[in-house]
Structure 1
Amino acid sequence: MVTIILLLSCDFWTVKNVTGRLLVGLRWWNQVDEDGHSHWMFESRSKTNKNVVSNSDSRIFWIGLIMCPMFWAFFMFSSLFSFNIKWLAVVIMGVVLQWANLYGYVRCKVGGATKLKNMASNYFGLKLFRKVVNTPGGPNLTGWLHFID
């Protein structure tokens, strides 16, 4: 159990500090100031070095970053429903570390909570607009929808 938790911690650190920087050019960390307030810090590769990252490496990184928390969530539910409580500490540690990496990189990629909120509201606004346009009796603007994207 201790070995698995140490390996999970090593994986968390490697993905956060090495793999993310090399494969997608992103890095994040959390800094606490003297007052005890937590600040998220984000770092991305400059525009001139963007061509160093290949699309396939980036795609593999993001797929792995999204799939690992899903596996750990599956393990958590299976250990809860099978009443196998002795492994619950390891599974919770895996869930927390993997979701922290996913959350940090999504915020780093999008640029923080305000940009994430604007992106979500713009996406849902566009979906609502398309639904209104495509309803029977509504205006027929389907030929113009490709200009919105």
Structure 2
Amino acid sequence: MIAEDEDVSLFDAEEDAGKRSKKNIKHPVASFFHLFFRGVAVMVYLLCGIFSNSFIACMVTIILLLSCDFWAVKNITGRLMVGLRWWNQVDDDGNSHWVFEARKGNVKQNASDSEARIFWLGLIVFPVLWVIFAFSTLFSFKIKWVPVVIMGVVLQGANLYGYVRCKVGGKTSLKNMATNYFGRQFLKQAMSKEEES
């Protein structure tokens, strides 16, 4: 049994950074499955009318693929590919706490640049696709598909939100981060206009 105050690393699969180049993909299976479930879910959504007339079979297949993707990204690929992990924890009083964790030490040493690009590209592109699908189902009045696309938006968006919070820090508010970013951009523009005068 582990004592509560003992520091335990959740990243057991640490690798020696000096042995491999940053350009190589260190975890090819994780990289494959990071894109596989979400890519297949999108393809099934787009092509299910061609291959099957059963809405229920298509819906169940898409939701299973999205669920597998959510679990794989949240528990495996984020930890291996970019050294980030998030979860919800309920304390003894019944209060829910969100935990956002980044690998201790230099994450750049443990992660490949190629894997990081694959991870973030997949994490951002697919939720955007599901949002587009949500609007297209609403505007085309395909009401039966609304729950499916909402599941896509929610599951993909939850992982995106969790990993963005891990990346910027669990304590940092995304609203504060956005405000600071736009404030800096405004200040840069004001300074450049001042220098032109």
TM range (shorter): 0.7 to 0.9
Runs of 4+ more than 3 Å apart: 115-119
Which of 106, 113, 119 lines up with 2:177 in the alignment?
A: 119
Which of 97, 101, 112 lines up with 2:159 in the alignment?
A: 101
Post-superposition Cα deviations, 1:97-130, rounded to whole Å, max 9, x if no partner, equal 0000000000011112535444333322222222
Identity of aligned residues (%): 67
Distance of 2:128 and 2:173 partners within structure 1: 25
**TM-score, structure 1 length as denominator?**
0.83
> Does 1:88 find its partner at 2:157?
no
Distance of 1:49 and 1:122 partners within structure 2: 24
Which of 179, 182, 189 lines up with 1:131 in the alignment?
A: 189
- Specify which structure has the higher proportion of helix: 1
- Give the aligned CA root-mean-square deviation in angstroms: 2.1
Give the residue type in structure 2 aligned to 1:80.
L
CA contact (8 A) 2:89 2:97 kept: yes
In structure 2, what is the equivalent of residue 58 of structure 1? 116
Please state whether the residue corresponding to 1:114 is helix, strand or coil.
Answer: coil
Q: Structure 1 pair 32/63, CA: closer, same or farther in 2 (3 Å)? A: same
Unpaired runs of at least 5, structure 2: 1-58
Q: Structure 1 pair 118/73, CA: closer, same or farther in 2 (3 Å)? A: closer
How many equivalent pairs are there?
A: 139
Unpaired runs of at least 5, structure 1: 142-149
More displaced 10-residue stretch of structure 1: 6-15 or 121-130 = 121-130
Give the residue type in structure 1 aligned to 2:122.
G
Which of 23, 27, 32 lines up with 2:85 in the alignment?
A: 27
